């Protein structure tokens, strides 16, 4: 791994624009380290047949893909201040201490890339950092090509038991503009023909990658698509408690009321095409993406498809009580992923990677209590949570 990282770093330094270079560190399980300015998290993957692990053409979800379990690649970048994303807030990962309980990363070996900005705008910086992060994730998995797998998982579905309820997943992807995109085969979600039906295995196999950098707790980094707990759970229950009907990708952040309504109805129509009796609707980020989810919920319910919605809560500044950004009466089955404003108790790391100063000017090692909203994936609205409750 050390040789691969050195080669990667040297190659990046030969091309100074728009990045000046990258610092690379490996953090072992449980080390008292805080990461700041985190953009993305990626699991190393490689395909034995030579196809790209994060394809921009062809189709994912076919053939074999090797994954390097227990390793995650983080990209960290402090955007140029004058061009920072409008809604950007600090994105933190604690690999020990109380904050580590809110995300799964403390149990991993972490390869941390801290990119150094060069000349050029933030869009160029982001695109290059994203491209380099995915390339390194693929390179790190190459040694698995010469190794025997510890286990093999197969993701395939038969027609299913017609007596079981047919349940589909509806995954919302961000498309609010540059620095707020999720990518489908390298194409921004809004240009990818959404809503559309895809094989659920495509989601798990690198078809969707992250390029959005706001509201860290509600963000969906690439690894949360690769390891998607909702899709994996539906696969696991297929033929037992339910019949997994399939997957619909839908866009968040439609910009007009008419567009939102049309998109909601189109998403419900895709669920009908799958023959779904019920759907689980996920949410990406916050604000008006919650309205897209609620309208999709309403459209599905009116089409006779029962819904469950996954959403995070916020705090009403007047009453200080938890509230939802939006709601419709049809949304009578909601899974809350927590309140974004809850504070995580103070913890002082021994080291900070990514940047010593938070976006608000606070020294990262002495930041005091930090709101949940600043922890990457801590209130993830796709069901990718380490904390939860279950009833039998």
Q: What DSSP letter does each residue of 336-380 carry, written as one string? A: EEEETTPEEPP---SEEES-SB-TTS-BGGG--SEEGGGBTTTT-
Asked whether the beta carbons of 217 and 313 are under 8 A apart, the reply is no
List phi, psi (to 5°) of 248.
-115, 125
Q: Confirm whether 388 is domain-assigned.
A: no
pLDDT of res. 190: 94
pLDDT bucket at 2, cuts 50 / 70 / 90: low
Q: What would the DSSP string read from start to end of 31-81?
A: --EEE-SEEEEE--EE-TTS--SS-SSS-SSSS--EE-TTEEEEEE----G
- For 332-345, what is the mean pLDDT? 92
Apex CA 343: angle with CA 342 and CA 348, to 5°? 160
Q: What is the pLDDT of residue 9?
A: 56
Percent of the chain residues past pLDDT 70, beyond the cut: 91
In a domain, 258, yes or no: yes
Q: How far does CA 204 lie from the centroid of its chain?
A: 12
In a domain, 382, yes or no: no
181 occurs within a structural domain = yes
**Two tokens, residue 215:** 């509201």
- Domain housing 253: 3-374
CB 16 within 8 A of CB 8: no
Opening angle at CA 44, ends 182 and 349, nearest 5? 85
Decide if pLDDT at 11 tops 80.
Answer: no
Token pair, residue 18, equals: 């728009």
Q: Which residues pair with 339 in a beta bridge?
A: 313
387 domain-assigned: no
276-309 pLDDT per residue, tens: 999 999 999 988 999 999 999 999 999 999 999 9
φ/ψ of 292, rounded to 5, equals -55, -45
Task: Give pLDDT tens digits for 37-80.
Answer: 999 999 999 999 999 999 999 999 999 999 999 999 999 999 87
Q: pTM for the complete prediction?
A: 0.93
Question: Is pLDDT at 82 greater than 90 in this prediction?
Answer: no
Domain count, the chain: 1
Task: Look up tokens 């109805």; give the residue.
Answer: 265
Residue 370 lies in a domain: yes
């Amino acid at each position: 791994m050390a040789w691969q990282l050195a080669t990667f770093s040297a190659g990046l330094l030969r091309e100074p624009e728009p990045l000046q270079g990258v610092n690379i560190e490996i953090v072992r399980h449980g080390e008292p380290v805080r990461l700041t300015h985190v953009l993305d998290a990626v699991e190393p993957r490689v395909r034995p047949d030579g196809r790209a692990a994060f394809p921009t053409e062809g189709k994912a979800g076919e053939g074999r893909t090797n994954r390097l379990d227990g390793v995650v690649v983080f990209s960290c970048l402090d955007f140029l201040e004058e061009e920072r994303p409008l809604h950007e807030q600090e994105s933190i990962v604690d690999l020990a201490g109380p904050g580590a309980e809110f995300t799964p990363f403390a149990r991993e070996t972490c390869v941390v890339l801290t990119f150094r900005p060069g000349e050029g705008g933030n869009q160029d910086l982001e695109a290059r950092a994203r491209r380099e992060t995915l390339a390194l994730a693929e390179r790190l998995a190459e040694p698995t090509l010469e190794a025997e797998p510890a286990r093999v998982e197969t993701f395939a579905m038969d027609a299913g038991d017609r007596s079981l309820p047919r349940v589909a997943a509806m995954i919302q992807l961000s498309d609010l503009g540059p620095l707020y995109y999720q990518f489908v085969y390298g194409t921004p979600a809004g240009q990818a023909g959404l809503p559309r039906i895809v094989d659920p295995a495509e989601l798990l196999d690198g078809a969707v990658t992250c390029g959005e950098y706001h509201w860290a707790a509600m963000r969906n980094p690439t690894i949360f698509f690769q390891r998607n707990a909702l899709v994996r759970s539906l696969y696991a229950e297929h033929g037992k408690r339910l019949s997994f009907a399939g997957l619909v990708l839908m866009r968040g952040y439609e910009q007009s009321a008419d567009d939102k309504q049309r998109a909601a109805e189109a998403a419900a129509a895709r669920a009908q095409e799958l023959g779904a009796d019920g759907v689980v609707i996920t949410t990406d980020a916050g604000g008006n993406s919650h309205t897209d989810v609620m309208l999709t919920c309403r459209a599905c319910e009116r089409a006779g498809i029962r819904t469950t919605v996954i959403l995070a809560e916020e705090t009403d500044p007047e009453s200080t009580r938890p509230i939802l950004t939006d709601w419709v009466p049809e949304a009578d089955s909601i899974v809350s992923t927590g309140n974004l404003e809850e504070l995580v108790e103070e913890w002082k790391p021994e080291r900070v990677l990514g940047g010593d100063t938070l976006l608000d000017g606070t020294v990262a090692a002495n930041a005091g209590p930090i709101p949940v909203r600043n922890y990457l994936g801590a209130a993830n609205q796709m069901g990718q949570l380490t904390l939860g409750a279950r009833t039998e």
